[in-house]
Structure 1
């Protein structure tokens, strides 16, 4: 019988998102492929240090006990030879990762569809934007993020922004166009109408299914961390209720910096569409930029 990923939560991740390859990446960015490959081979027996998304991946893989519930696939611009070190590093870290796609500098996001990926994490903003354009939940890891703490070893903790991440950027467009008062008024009038889904709704649904299946040793805790405040909070909560998705914590911060609140929640990863919030969060927790919505539209040259 052919292997299948049906029913599993599939995370596709680049080598730099999973491991700390920043020193090696300097050679890669210089376009010196041979020097990069040579350095990786010289360090073949030297396991790479954990990267930004390491804690998230390790905990998700811990759901695979009596059944295979989570699949993590390396999806990387690395060459196949350098991929040897990626797999060696995974083995040294006791990460049960069996599959990988290495494209030697070519864009890898086209392989997300056959992988049935629920999430793509990469250090390449261009690849992330392309993945989002194709309908996949994707984020650019902030490679300068602090590592996740190990306070909750048996709990996967994930925090999400709302607009342009879990929800569409419909309301954010109102805010950008007409300001806070118009945004609050718009959301109050539409409180009973669910927000359209954003790029990360399918991931939240997959996590919700995984949580309900559960294991004796692992669980999931989720948080909504948003700049919304009352009365705009109403529509966000009602939307999640309409989706039949329960979220464990909700923080309506009314524009306060998110970093210190995330420090208290201690997520294994935080997703936000605003670079300012990502930079604030990265000082305290692993964070990624969702290149989605009106805040990330590429503006043409001034005329």
Structure 2
């Protein structure tokens, strides 16, 4: 690689100019100002090509930025998510080979737990980025994490580096969280029959039905994927219901607090009025007592003169 190309790649790799990787973890509200400031800094340093590359940089599509921010803020949890994705794909391969679906279920459980942990960590990061922390947004973040963890290698690598440019989508597999499972079959399954295929290349054999074990494995995989999707939808629904209940409780508590504060203020005002009335009454009593004393003194003086 020439020096010019190496410089163009910058510190962040994969064609990104230096410092651009951190920009991909910013919300849309933060991105433009930060990108322009970094481009101006590069231009002032004489790096015109780097500045131009930064100005051409676009904000990640959808919620990809929060996945990038999670990758930078929670590397340990992200590593657990990717390991769970590996376990799920290994379980898929085992199911396709007719070895049962226990590994598939274990991988799905691990992936669900890892994605849920990152979903909880995403809430404050969304708030910091100026994004509403709504239940449906958090459910969407959890879904995207699962898709990325079971996606192709380029998607997983981009997530690991916190440099996704768009939201990950489902791969060619049938399940919503299973990306490319059929393509992940071990090489030995394909190469075992290679000599026979080479020998029959000139005259391809007639199509035969797949072995019953393979069909059973594929059916088990599809059932497991449908069950995983149903569980994810049910969990998202339950999470949304819990969030709604919490919001209702928060609103009720806020209203009760407002009523209590209003009552305290009313009683404080009444106490102030009562204290003012007491002071006025005391002043009148003092004045009356002074008048009584004055009159008694005058009466005593008159009595003295008469005597």
Q: TM-score, normalised by structure 1?
A: 0.26
Q: Higher strand proportion, which one?
A: 1
Considering only CA atoms, is the larger Rg found in Structure 1 or Structure 2?
A: 2
Higher relative contact order (CA 8 A, sep 6+): 1
Q: Higher helix proportion, which one?
A: 2
